[in-house]
Amino acid sequence: MIEQRRVLKTAIPGPKSQELHQRKLASVSTGVSTGLPIYVESGQDGILRDVDGNQLIDFGSGIAVTSVGNGNQRIIDAVQKQIADFTHTCFMVTPYEEYVEVCEELNKRTPGSHEKRTALFNSGAEAVENAVKVARHYTGKDAIVAFDHAYHGRTNLTLAMTAKNMPYKHKFGPFASELYRVPMAYPYRWPGGEKHCEAEAFSYITDQIHAQIGEENTAAVIIEPIQGEGGFIVPPPGFLPALAQWCRDHDILFIADEVQSGFCRSGDWFAVDHEEVVPDIIVTAKGIAGGMPLSGITGRADIMDTIHGGGLGGTYGGNPVACAAALASIETMEADDLAGRAREIEAILKGRLGELSEKYEQVGEVRGRGAMIAMELVEDRVTKAPAAALTGAINKACHERGLVTLTCGTLGNVFRFLPPLTISDDLLNEGMDILGEAFAASL
Ligand code: PLZ
């Protein structure tokens, strides 16, 4: 057990971390960079302990993964038992119950009461790729529509769907074809103003698909119901239901990428649940398995079961240890009402960020749902010029004070909060105190 308390024994990063970092620089490709080079020794709930004995408050959850907390006893027990039983057979060679049970859980908990089927993979990007494969196979159409500010992964196909050039796409092309991008319903920056965002975005997007691609050529529209890496952009109420309905009316599949927003993160099991949107296919990963690599696509049975035997799979997809962890995570979320906890976290974070927003004109907007909250920073509220340098400076100042924070946004000016759902109120508030100090020190 790690005491849930911030402890700073050395400067951040400390000498042992610095030494490890020298080894990293000499051994790991420059392509893989680290935001905060403290080398982690152990972690539990709201705390990460580094090799120098510092205890940092975790506002990142390894990018929205450890929602049930590091050091979660249910996960430890389930993983240890599964490792002792067997670690791998390959589900396509000789199957096992844990895989089936995770699929049953996903079919049951994802939106919609219709018959569903699931397939499991390893990473979010791999699952997104498979959702695209299934959509093209089922519809017999090629075009896939993604959005400005979208993030769907780093593989070649998903990079074609990901919006941001640096660092993801730069010089890594050419990218897969038949991927199209349309504007996102981004209330804070909608040209016609926030009030008109929903209606204007909907007609702009559907007109563009009609004119530039053709509904009859469009296999699927894929959207993050709350955009993650792109800046925690929450579309205006009504936008997702209208878009999903339009897709249905035109035999286009509506795919929700809930890799980041899913599994209680947004204050409900899935972010689409807030507006009762039922996707044809939902993509899940990250929070599903408490840190073990696992992802899935869950879709209408009639879609998922058109795929020929052997058409989907992979050596490790639905690995038994990852599945055991997923079952323990889901059990924890249910037993401990982590969706409810995410809503409590939202209230605390939005309260504290509201105070910052009153104090500093640079806080352009506070937005998000559950334990997926962000503030967008601007030079001033009139021009809304993105304040990327300030965002980076505050992030660094938080790190130095023992708070693990993350930024995001296509323009690099969004500060995001993704604490484990098991973090204590005290650590949340202490983290927000640190943020306030870091803000003041960075202006
Ligand atoms: N879809 C919505 O958020 C992963 C990326 C971190 P993988 N987001 C974190 C980085 O810089 O690589 C993500 C996501 C959404 C898909 C993915 C991809 O998931 O498990 O990283 O492949």
The 10s digit of each residue's pLDDT in 71-115 is 999 999 999 999 999 999 999 999 999 999 999 999 999 999 999
Task: State whether the beta carbon of 149 lies less than 6 angstroms from ligand 1.
Answer: no
Instruction: Let me know: does 369 contact 346? Beta carbons within 8 Å.
Output: yes
User: Given the CA of residue 227, which atom of ligand 1 is nearest to it?
Assistant: 2
In the beta sheet, which residues pair with residue 147?
182
Residue type (1 letter), 243: L
Average pLDDT over residues 240-253: 98
Closest CA to 220 of 137, 290, 296: 137
Q: Compute, in angstroms, the gap from residue 146 CA to the centroid of ligand 1.
A: 15
What b/e readout covers 345-382, taking b as 16+ CB neighbours within 10 angstroms? bbebbbebbeebbeebebbbbbbbbbbbbbbbbbbeee
Decide whether any atom of ligand 1 lies within 6 Å of the 232 Cβ: no
Model confidence pLDDT, tens digit, residues 326-354: 999 999 999 999 999 999 999 999 999 99
DSSP code of residue 233:
P
For 403-432, what is each residue's pLDDT tens digit?
A: 999 999 999 999 999 999 999 999 999 999
Q: Which of 152, 161, 162, 297 to mutate to test the pocket of ligand 1 (most atoms within 8 A of CB)?
A: 152
Ligand 1 atom closest to residue 229's alpha carbon, by position in its atom list: 3
Pocket test for ligand 1, best of 229, 232, 270, 297 (most atoms within 8 A of CB): 229
Residue nearest to atom 6 of ligand 1 (CA): 63
Spatial neighbors of 145 by CB under 8 A, at least 6 apart, are 180, 181, 182, 209, 213, 218, 220, 221, 222
pLDDT at position 319: 98
Taking only the tens place, the pLDDT of each residue in 300-313 is 999 999 999 999 99
From the alpha carbon of 257, which atom of ligand 1 is closest? 2
**Using CA atoms, how far apart are residues 170 and 388, in angstroms rounded to an integer?**
19
Check if 152 has its Cβ closer than 6 Å to any atom of ligand 1: yes
Mean pLDDT computed over 6-29 = 98
How far apart CA 312 and CA 91 sit, in angstroms, is: 11
Q: Which domains does the chain have, with CATH numbers?
A: 15-71+337-442 (3.90.1150.10), 74-335 (3.40.640.10)
pLDDT tens, position by position, 34-60: 999 999 999 999 999 999 999 999 999
What pLDDT is stored for residue 123 in this prediction? 98
User: Given this model, what pLDDT does residue 210 score?
Assistant: 98
User: Which of 236, 223, 235, 229 lies closest to 281 in space, CA to CA?
Assistant: 223
Output the pLDDT for position 275: 98
- Helix count and strand count (H, E) for the chain: 13, 15
155-205 confidence digits (pLDDT tens): 999 999 999 999 999 999 999 999 999 999 999 999 999 999 999 999 999
Burial 403-420 (b: 16+ CB within 10 A, else e): bbbbbbbbbbbbbbbbbb
Q: Is ligand 1 within 6 A of the CB of residue 125?
A: yes
Q: Percent of the chain at pLDDT above 90?
A: 100
Distance 156 CA to ligand 1 centre (A): 13
Dihedrals φ, ψ of 264, to 5°?
Answer: 75, -10
257: Cβ below 6 Å to ligand 1? yes
Give the percent of the chain with pLDDT over 70.
100
Whether this prediction's pTM lies above 0.95 is answered by yes
Q: Strands 47-50, 281-284: parallel, antiparallel or unpaired by DSSP?
A: unpaired
> Shortest CA distance to 125 belongs to which of 87, 89, 156?
156
